[in-house]
Structure 1
């Protein structure tokens, strides 16, 4: 009998630890690639989508050779090309850079007044006061206006840094549209491997439109926030990464790329 109880206690301890480990894993921001290197021109994909989905069902990133924008929502991957065409893609491809997590809302807010992009970020700052917190943010509802962008694929090496190709961006505008924003607020101490500040991608309700958010005005939206407590970065094991020059300060380039203009 004592041996039986001991086995049960051991099993309980194992299961509790396994559940804790699973919870910890599911509360982690996972970065495949390096944001600074990607913005600096490392657009060749190396990380499998199938492996990415083992680390999250929610996130954003870039396709191989900068062919538009990626969004991961409810375990499905969507690509928006520079033509504006948006479609679900299989998990057989690869990405040069993506950030993902398993999304579980810890906080939910309702916003009914129109908010510009700047005012939305200010509102989020007011309800997420920990400036050093890592937040995954899902916003769903109606938008009075959405402006997105996507880059065309690069063709020939050596690739130019992203900020040097802003003139190649394709912009898309939508009015009175329903859809979802997938994004993050990343603290300053994670700049480099990640992009600090707010970063959102868009997917319309009919899943026919998307892209990187350049500007917006919200209508009635629901804001869900997942508070993350750790992060992991997968470093590319490639020759290009081994020889990439990290001595250059690219913070200004990152701002230009995020805002879609110099």
Structure 2
């Protein structure tokens, strides 16, 4: 018969396991980001990492592809490209990206939004219900939409122009009576220069045939799920384009114009 373990040893072992579990959960609540939104605005579209490399850090998020070749949508561990020609397709792991934000999505809070809200009303409604304005939240909205307006941008070739100039060539898409998901983040104002303050969402239809950067919608019915993040991991690329970019300028107006789809 094996002797029983000392009570003190059992207690220590339990504490170690509890600590390991806490760290494991903490890792899931980290937002990982490659590069910065201001670098993207400045025209840093070079391939900085592959999807295989960044998907080690999450299964939910958004970004773009090398050369600014369309909008990137990451949901349930699968990456889709919404191209400027309207096509949507899954992307292989060796595809490169210059910018991406992602996390492991765990639905910590579920909310039922009022029916027939447009994007402006939805933003006000949800911001009033965020547990704190000082955290970043992964936001997922699954629902039926009376209409959705979204966009994508065409692939670029060096020398790369700033994103505000490229956005003048963006393609707009409008869909009606469509089921889909909004994927993205809400960030506090203090992330200015690193990410997008307030909402940054992409759209993906349930049939995976329509997708892009969200501009507006009317939500017939749906469910909002939130996943607060408690930390950030920011990876700054050691790429010449990033290292030489002028990131000291205030690009708030350019970001607003790009996010709103203004030309």
Question: TM-score band (shorter)?
Answer: over 0.9
Residue of structure 1 equivalent to 2:167? 166
Between the aligned partners of 1:126 and 1:13, the Cα distance in structure 2 is: 38
Provide Cα deviations, 1:108-155, integer angstroms capped at 9, x if missing partner: 111241111100100111111522121111000100110111110001
TM-score, normalised on structure 2? 0.95
Paired residues for 1:1-262 under 5 Å: 1=3, 8-128=10-130, 130-157=132-159, 159-262=160-263
Report how far residue 255 of structure 1 moved. Answer: 0.3
Between the aligned partners of 2:228 and 2:45, the Cα distance in structure 1 is: 30
Report how far residue 13 of structure 1 moved. Answer: 3.0
Report how far residue 3 of structure 1 moved. Answer: 6.0
Poorly superposed stretches of 4+, deviation over 6 Å: none
Between the aligned partners of 2:121 and 2:114, the Cα distance in structure 1 is: 13
SS for the counterpart of 1:165 is helix
Inter-CA distance 93–10: structure 2 relative to 1 (3 Å threshold): farther
RMSD value over aligned CA atoms?
1.5
Between the aligned partners of 1:253 and 1:173, the Cα distance in structure 2 is: 24
Between the aligned partners of 2:191 and 2:17, the Cα distance in structure 1 is: 33
Between the aligned partners of 1:144 and 1:161, the Cα distance in structure 2 is: 34
SS for the counterpart of 2:45 is coil
Between the aligned partners of 2:42 and 2:4, the Cα distance in structure 1 is: 63
Report how far residue 36 of structure 1 moved. Answer: 0.6
Which blocks of at least 5 consecutive residues in structure 1 are unaligned?
Answer: none
Provide Cα deviations, 1:205-230, integer angstroms capped at 9, x if missing partner: 00111000011111101000111111
SS for the counterpart of 1:175 is strand
Between the aligned partners of 2:111 and 2:67, the Cα distance in structure 1 is: 37
SS for the counterpart of 1:138 is strand
Which blocks of at least 5 consecutive residues in structure 2 are unaligned?
Answer: none
Question: How many pairs are equivalent?
Answer: 261
Report how far residue 11 of structure 1 moved. Answer: 3.5
SS for the counterpart of 2:203 is strand
Inter-CA distance 70–8: structure 2 relative to 1 (3 Å threshold): same
Provide Cα deviations, 1:66-113, integer angstroms capped at 9, x if missing partner: 000001101111111100100111222121000001111111111241
Report how far residue 237 of structure 1 moved. Answer: 1.0
The farther-off stretch of 108-117 and 22-31 is: 108-117
Between the aligned partners of 2:77 and 2:226, the Cα distance in structure 1 is: 17
Between the aligned partners of 1:6 and 1:126, the Cα distance in structure 2 is: 48
Report how far residue 165 of structure 1 moved. Answer: 1.8
